[in-house]
Amino acid sequence: EADIYQTPRYLVIGTGKKITLECSQTMGHDKMYWYQQDPGMELHLIHYSYGVNSTEKGDLSSESTVSRIRTEHFPLTLESARPSHTSQYLCASRPGTGYGETQYFGPGTRLLVL
């Protein structure tokens, strides 16, 4: 059973606001990921991290930033929210050892930008 948490679960916010989506895992996994997904649609990789102080951009990263100061914590920040950011954001983690380990997903944050 994976222990990965995301807060908030739901967020409604106005355009231009700065927001941070939290993701924490208690499994000691080195690798963590952020995906953006419209309901039932494909997943788009935003950012990923191999470990502390290591972050990489995915396909959809230009409007957000991440940090990885602690192994268990991988927050995603939108500096200025826009209606186009309305979506579900999924955080995932996986062990650093081995290449074929699965990702474990959090419950997601559903964001609505007005």
Partner 1 sequence: AQKVTQAQTEISVVEKEDVTLDCVYETRDTTYYLFWYKQPPSGELVFLIRRNSFDEQNEISGRYSWNFQKSTSSFNFTITASQVVDSAVYFCALIENTGNQFYFGTGTSLTVIP
- Residues forming a β-bridge with 70: 73
Query: How far apart are CB 80 and partner 1 at their closest, in Å?
Result: 25
Does 99 help bind partner 1 (rule: CB under 8 A)? yes
Q: What CA–CA distance (Å, rounded) separates 21 from 40?
A: 21
C-beta of 12 vs 16, nearer to partner 1: 12
**Alpha helices (runs of H) in the chain, residue ranges in sequence order:** none
Q: Does 103 bind partner 1 (CB under 8 A)?
A: yes
> Considering the rule CB under 8 A, would residue 90 count as an interface residue with partner 1?
yes
Positions of E strands within the chain = 4-7, 10-13, 19-25, 31-37, 44-51, 54-57, 64-66, 76-78, 87-94, 104-105, 109-113
- Least gap, CB of 31 to partner 1 (angstroms): 6
Q: Interface with partner 1 by CB under 8 A: which residues? A: 31, 33, 39-43, 45, 48, 50, 58, 88, 90, 92, 99-100, 102-108, 110
